[in-house]
């Protein structure tokens, strides 16, 4: 049987369906499911020493052909630009085309024959909102459309708004010749409202684009990739916002940001590639907002942050009260990397220690411990280390941003090993970081990336956020300390949370 060798591969468990009570906009995945996506089948390849490299490549090619991962169908769109190809397929992309035409400016680069870019194109099914009752209440439709868009800046929400409000697609009215009764008929108000929709559409469409042309195999070599959307709100060091690439080899599939699956890939156009998605991409929220999305995994961490009144350290949000036209202000910290311990991490420590940390007497200890997991003014990803230095402007709340960059994996060979130390918010301490990226098969995209912090492997790496990134860990990091035995020898390297009473209280009392 041709596929007999495949039975040696550990199969990835299929993801369970999303809880119907959760929002359809951001499917909820548990950390275990994230870990399954992250590790895929490659964890078992160490045992396949007898595997034939040529056979492995043949099998992968056949699987990819069967699953359509590399195929773009019979239609040859390579002579068309991405924009022309989207317009030529109204059955799949009429809703997306309507949004792009409404926004207007994106056509320029999607139709530019001199560029080589990538675009992720949600199909019509992805942009069809779920049916809701009481949709016939016309009085509040327009206000609800804008409120929904502000709370959920996705192409699906935009598509729904354009369907619900045909006036958004109408030509701007000449207010000198328009007689109106009340603010709702004010053409200036409608023009301003339409402009808000257009600006949001433009930003979201940029988040679906990459400034280079990537096939799915090229994408699969990376954990994160920079999009065309640049951070312009003072956050993220002013860098281009990134998407997270999740690859699975059996069956072959690629997901973006953990939830948007590539349905049809590598559709060649004259100016690059586009890939069809089953879900629109949503620019990420702040780290604290993302943690709140997964209470089953991070409720202990978010409770810790709230107990210490520390939300601002993980947040970046618009400050409506202090903002003025042309001078927006924001709350929180603009750039942060967090090693985020799960509920399981807190459960793994001794009960007495947990009681102490969450008691009134343990607030200082909890503050110091969380500070050890928190790296301010830094974006740490498996492909990039960026350290920001700020100079606050007296004119506005934005910063003149300068920073130090270090990119990893710049060559054609994706494999590398990197070790360095980084300073968290806890004074006089460092975290030891190890980055590993290596090929498991001589097949493009068959790459495994890991991050270790203080010698322990991170469970989910490179979770993008508006104000940085988080890395999910299933253990609490043991802070640096000194602990001597009865002979006077330092045995701190042997300490664990099980003997915390021997050293932790003394560490907490240190300045």
Cα–Cα separations (whole angstroms), residue 135 to 105, 129, 132, 142? 31, 12, 6, 12
Write down the residue that tokens 């156009």 correspond to: 269
Please check whether residue 386 is in contact with residue 405, taking contact to mean a CB–CB distance below 8 angstroms. Answer: yes
Dist. CA 145–CA 85, nearest whole Å: 29
Nearest residue to 432 via CA among 406, 404, 460, 451:
451
pLDDT at 402: 59
Nearest residue to 259 via CA among 21, 63, 459, 463:
463
Dist. CA 332–CA 315, nearest whole Å: 5
The C-alpha angle 307, 308, 313, rounded to 5 degrees, equals: 120
CATH 2.30.180.10 fits 1-283, yes or no: yes
pLDDT at 309: 96
pLDDT at 359: 95
Dist. CA 347–CA 66, nearest whole Å: 44
- The reply to whether 287-480 shares the fold of 1-283 is yes
Q: Quote the CATH superfamily of domain 287-480.
A: FAS1 domain (2.30.180.10)
Dist. CA 401–CA 235, nearest whole Å: 10
The C-alpha angle 103, 106, 109, rounded to 5 degrees, equals: 165
Query: In 40-175, which residue ranges form alpha helices assigned H by DSSP?
Result: 53-67, 82-87, 90-103, 106-110, 141-151, 155-164
Alpha-carbon Rg for the chain, nearest whole angstrom, is 25
Three-state secondary structure call for residue 30: coil
pLDDT at 145: 76
Please check whether residue 451 is in contact with residue 223, taking contact to mean a CB–CB distance below 8 angstroms. Answer: no
Please check whether residue 330 is in contact with residue 319, taking contact to mean a CB–CB distance below 8 angstroms. Answer: yes
**pTM for this entry:** 0.79
Dist. CA 345–CA 63, nearest whole Å: 38
The continuous run of DSSP H or E covering 444 comes out as none
pLDDT at 445: 61
Size of the chain in residues: 511
Dist. CA 47–CA 200, nearest whole Å: 49
Residues 6 or more apart whose CB falls under 8 angstroms from that of 247 comprise 40, 220, 253, 254, 255, 445
Two tokens at 340?
């985020």
Two tokens at 30?
């548990």
Dist. CA 77–CA 162, nearest whole Å: 28
Write down the residue that tokens 């924001």 correspond to: 330
pLDDT at 189: 83
Please check whether residue 371 is in contact with residue 425, taking contact to mean a CB–CB distance below 8 angstroms. Answer: yes
Domain residue extents for the chain:
1-283, 287-480
Per-residue pLDDT of the chain (511 residues; tens, 9 = 90+): 333 333 223 223 233 333 444 434 444 444 455 455 444 433 433 333 333 334 444 544 544 443 444 444 445 667 999 999 999 999 999 999 999 999 999 999 999 999 999 999 999 999 997 776 555 555 455 557 777 777 788 999 999 999 888 888 877 554 444 444 444 567 788 888 899 999 999 999 999 999 999 999 899 889 999 999 999 999 999 999 999 999 887 778 899 999 999 999 999 999 999 999 999 999 999 999 999 999 999 999 999 999 999 999 999 998 888 988 888 899 999 999 999 999 999 999 999 999 999 999 999 999 999 999 999 999 999 999 999 875 554 444 444 455 787 887 655 566 788 999 999 999 999 999 999 998 776 666 678 899 999 999 999 999 999 999 999 999 999 998 887 777 767 766 777 898 999 999 999 998 5
Three-state secondary structure call for residue 388: strand
Strand partners, 473: 341
pLDDT at 139: 47
Dist. CA 356–CA 324, nearest whole Å: 45
For 146-170, b/e burial (b = at least 16 CB within 10 A) is: bebbeebbbbbbbbbbbbbbeebee
């Amino acid at each position: 049987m041709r596929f007999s060798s495949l039975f040696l591969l550990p199969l990835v468990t299929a993801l369970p369906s999303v809880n119907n009570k959760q929002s359809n906009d951001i499917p909820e995945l548990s950390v275990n499911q994230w870990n399954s996506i992250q590790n895929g089948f490659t964890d078992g390849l160490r045992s396949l020493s007898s595997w034939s490299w040529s056979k492995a490549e043949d099998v992968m090619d056949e699987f990819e052909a069967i699953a359509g991962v590399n195929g773009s169908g019979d239609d040859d769109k390579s002579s068309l630009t991405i924009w022309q190809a989207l317009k030529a397929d109204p059955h799949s992309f009429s809703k997306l085309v309507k949004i792009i035409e409404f926004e207007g400016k994106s056509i320029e680069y999607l139709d530019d024959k001199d560029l080589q870019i990538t675009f992720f194109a949600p199909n019509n099914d992805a942009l069809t909102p779920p049916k809701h009752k009481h949709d016939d209440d016309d009085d509040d439709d327009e206000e609800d459309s804008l409120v929904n868009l502000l709370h959920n800046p996705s192409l699906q929400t935009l598509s729904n708004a354009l369907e619900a409000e045909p006036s958004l697609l109408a030509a701007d009215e000449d207010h000198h010749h328009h007689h109106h009764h009340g603010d709702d008929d004010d053409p200036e108000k409608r023009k301003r409202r339409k402009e808000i929709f257009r600006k949001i559409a433009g930003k979201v469409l940029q988040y679906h684009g990459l400034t280079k042309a990537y096939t799915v195999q090229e994408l699969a070599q990376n954990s994160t990739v920079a999009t065309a959307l640049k951070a312009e709100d003072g956050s993220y060091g002013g860098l281009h916002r990134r998407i997270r690439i999740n690859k699975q080899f059996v069956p072959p599939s690629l997901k973006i940001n953990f939830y948007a699956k590539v349905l049809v890939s590598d559709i060649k156009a004259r100016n690059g590639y586009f890939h069809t998605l089953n879900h629109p991409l949503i620019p990420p929220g702040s780290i604290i907002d993302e943690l709140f999305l997964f209470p089953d995994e991070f409720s202990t961490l978010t409770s810790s942050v709230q107990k210490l009144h520390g939300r601002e350290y993980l947040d970046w949000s618009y400050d409506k009260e202090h903002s003025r036209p042309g001078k927006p202000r924001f709350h929180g910290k603009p750039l942060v990397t967090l090693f985020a311990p799960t509920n399981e991490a807190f459960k793994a420590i001794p009960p007495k220690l947990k009681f102490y940390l969450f008691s009134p007497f343990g607030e200082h200890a909890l503050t110091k411990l969380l500070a050890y997991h928190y790296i301010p003014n830094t974006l740490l990803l498996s492909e990039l280390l960026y350290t920001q230095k700020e100079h606050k402007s007296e004119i506005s709340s934005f910063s003149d941003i300068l920073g130090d960059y270090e990119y990893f994996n710049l060559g054609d060979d994706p494999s590398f090993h990197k070790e360095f130390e980084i300073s968290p918010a806890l004074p006089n301490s460092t975290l030891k970081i190890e980055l590993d990226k290596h090929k498991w098969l001589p097949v493009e995209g068959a790459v495994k990336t890991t991050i270790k912090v203080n010698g322990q492997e991170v469970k989910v790496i490179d979770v993008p956020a508006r104000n940085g990134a988080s890395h999910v860990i299933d253990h609490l990091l043991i802070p640096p300390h000194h602990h001597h035995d009865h002979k006077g020898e330092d045995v701190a390297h042997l300490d664990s949370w099980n003997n915390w009473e021997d050293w932790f209280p003394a560490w907490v009392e240190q300045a």
